[in-house]
Amino acid sequence: MHKILKNAPPLPNMPWEERPAGGRGEPMWRFSANPVIPRNLTATSNSIFNSAVVPFKGGFAGVFRVDDTSRRMNIHRGFSADGMSWKLDDEPIRFLDGSAGLPESEYKYDPRVVFVEDRYWIIWCNGYHGASIGMGYTFDFETFHRIENPLMPYNRNGVLFPRKIRGNYALLSRPSDSGHTPFGDIFYSESPDMTYWGRHRHVMSPLGSQSLWQSTKVGAGPAPIETTEGWLLFYHGVLNSCNGFVYSWSAALLDLEEPWKVTARSRPYIINPSRDYECVGDVPNVTFPCAALVDGETERVAVYYGCADTVTGLAFGRIGEIVDFVKKNSVI
Ligand code: BMA
């Protein structure tokens, strides 16, 4: 298969397991030792999920959503040599405040980490008069700086693109309400400086009965992955069942220079809550992707996803096969 990844360095030591025998030709498969991150890795964690991982100094670093045994939601730093066995700080990340006087976050959850140009940007859902987007950066995973919130409340699920587009930083987000939000579309915004955001564009809405797993809301997952076929966006979709929300995930392709234009979008899900650790936990039936590692050489991908809002799982695949799957099964 010819190579389609753009701007992706080699990552030979990324976590990986070959596709198991059998199956029905699914484009991705789960790590056989899932959950890769258990719920009890810090001194007081209740759950560790929806977490963000990047390559760092020959190994891996991450920012993890940790809810503690008081059920406070915060984000913690972690390191790993192999992306599978993690050491997390017991204490949440302390940010140096580079904002013009924003108060401490009431809570932080669902982080993403994206390397853009010269530093690791961290985006999270930030408690500021309700759900809002918070933003900061680090160069070294030792000192962390917080900057202004990019968008007004209510909004969750901020995800940066890994490079500037047409000269501006680019962000996906999902405006919401102050509760559990029975709606949700993905929007695109641009900024020249990471502080002032505008040129907002609609990207995608939930679908109807043709694809029920994504009929209530949709939200961006890991940072979009650049390919010759467009930005590969893993995203979650929500179905509203008689027992509550069900979170599954799949992928779409966005135009490289005008990413609000969706060129293909999968009708079937790729991963849905079907294993015990995805169906049983603090919030049953949730799979929620937040980070992806790719190897530019072999075009393998490993996706970290939260499971039942309790633990973190890993799923593997090949970029070319996933892009083919999205195109062949596109609703567009
Ligand atoms: C969303 C966020 C996620 C969570 C999901 C399912 O609104 O709170 O952190 O995984 O709901 O509970």
Atom of ligand 1 nearest to the CA of 286: 6
Separation CA 59–CA 98 (nearest Å): 29
Separation CA 302–CA 27 (nearest Å): 12
Helix (H) and strand (E) counts in the chain: 2, 22
Q: What angle do CA 173, 178, 182 make, to 5 degrees?
A: 75
For ligand 1, the distance from its centroid to the CA atom of residue 218, given in whole angstroms, is 12
Give the residue whose CA is nearest to atom 9 of ligand 1: 110
For residues 220-249, give the mean pLDDT. 98
Architecture, CATH, for domain 28-328: 5 Propeller (2.115)
Q: How far is CA 292 from CA 160, 236, 273, 324, in A?
A: 13, 14, 19, 18
Please report the pLDDT score of residue 2 as a whole number.
85
For residues 209-214, give the mean pLDDT. 96
For ligand 1, the distance from its centroid to the CA atom of residue 3, given in whole angstroms, is 35
Q: Token digits for 244?
A: 């509550």
- Asked if the model's pLDDT at residue 58 lies above 70, the reply is yes
Whose tokens are 């596709």? That residue is: 19
Q: From the CB of 286, is ligand 1 less than 6 Å away?
A: yes
For residues 204-228, give the mean pLDDT. 97
Separation CA 270–CA 303 (nearest Å): 12
Q: Token digits for 225?
A: 């992955």
Spell out the residues 6+ positions from residue 52 whose beta carbon is closer than 8 angstroms to its own. Answer: 62, 63, 64, 111, 112, 113, 122, 222, 290, 291, 304
Structure confidence by residue, pLDDT tens digits, 131-148: 999 999 999 999 999 999
What are the DSSP calls for 58-100, one per residue?
A: TEEEEEEEEEETT--EEEEEEEESSSSS-EE-SSPPPEEE-SS
The phi and psi torsions of 315 (rounded to 5 degrees) equal -130, 150
Structure confidence by residue, pLDDT tens digits, 75-123: 999 999 999 999 999 999 999 999 999 999 999 999 999 999 999 999 9
Please report the pLDDT score of residue 49 as a whole number.
98
Q: Are the beta carbons of 105 and 96 closer than 8 angstroms?
A: no
Percent of the chain exceeding pLDDT 90 equals 97
Atom of ligand 1 nearest to the CA of 181: 7
Give the residue whose CA is nearest to atom 4 of ligand 1: 309
For residues 18-47, give the mean pLDDT. 97
Give domain limits for the chain: 28-328
Structure confidence by residue, pLDDT tens digits, 146-172: 999 999 999 999 999 999 999 999 999
Buried b (16+ CB within 10 A) or exposed e, 109-143: bbbbbbbbeeebbbbbbbbbebbbbbbbbbeebee
Please report the pLDDT score of residue 1 as a whole number.
61
- Give 213's DSSP letter: G
Q: From the CB of 278, is ligand 1 less than 6 Å away?
A: no
Q: From the CB of 214, is ligand 1 less than 6 Å away?
A: no
For ligand 1, the distance from its centroid to the CA atom of residue 292, given in whole angstroms, is 18
Q: From the CB of 309, is ligand 1 less than 6 Å away?
A: yes
